């Protein structure tokens, strides 16, 4: 099993986690727990350890984004590059969502971020790269 195989499996297994943790963060009032200074907050690991769901959402999403970047560099096929593009798009929509929650962007972006997250999970699970 190659490194690319392991990374594809990791991407597939954890692809729905950002959507899950983002939904939980929203449901339990953690959406702006880190403020609007996207993408990171000082002490994010300490906050995650304390159970902050938004911190977990960001950590998992960032890990998947980094994994998508590594896969795109290693595999260089259409699926890996699409996964990377979707990860970048999701991050940008996450930024827009923080602006929605802060009252600076139309609410449309919030729903688009959630829908996009589900699309990313679908693509990572159904269309994995084949190294």
pLDDT in tens, 26-75: 888 887 777 777 666 778 899 899 999 988 998 998 898 899 899 999 98
Report domain extents, the chain: 3-126
Give the chain's mean pLDDT: 82
CA 19 → CA 16, 56, 116, distances in Å? 6, 11, 9
Report the share of the chain in percent with pLDDT over 90.
12
Distance of alpha carbon 92 from alpha carbon 82, whole angstroms: 15
Quick check: 25 and 33 in contact, CB under 8 A? yes
Q: Band the pLDDT of 123: cuts 50, 70, 90.
A: low
Confidence (pLDDT) at 125: 59
Q: Omega into 39 within 30° of 0, i.e. cis? A: yes
Length of the chain, in residues: 131
Please tell me the pTM assigned to this model: 0.80
Q: List pLDDT tens digits, range 13-34.
A: 888 888 889 888 888 888 777 7
Check pLDDT > 60 for residue 1.
yes
Q: Burial letters for 12-46: b for 16+ Cβ neighbours within 10 Å, e otherwise?
A: bebbbbbbbbbeebbeeebbeebeeebeebeebee
Residue 111 has a pLDDT of 78
Tokens for 35, please give them. Answer: 């403020």
Look at residue 130 and tell me whether its pLDDT is greater than 60.
no
pLDDT > 70 fraction of the chain, expressed in percent and rounded: 88
């Amino acid at each position: 099993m190659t490194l690319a195989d392991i990374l594809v499996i990791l991407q597939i297994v954890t692809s729905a986690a950002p959507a899950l943790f983002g939904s939980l963060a929203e449901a339990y009032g953690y959406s702006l727990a880190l403020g609007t200074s996207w993408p990171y907050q000082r002490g994010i690991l300490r906050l995650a350890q304390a159970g902050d769901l938004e911190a977990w959402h960001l950590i998992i999403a960032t890990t998947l984004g980094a994994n998508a970047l590594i896969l795109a560099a290693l595999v260089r096929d259409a699926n890996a590059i699409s996964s990377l593009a979707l990860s970048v798009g999701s991050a940008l929509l996450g930024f827009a969502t923080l602006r929605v929650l802060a009252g600076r962007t139309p609410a449309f972006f919030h729903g688009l971020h959630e829908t996009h997250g589900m699309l990313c999970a679908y693509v990572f699970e159904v269309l994995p790269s084949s190294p």
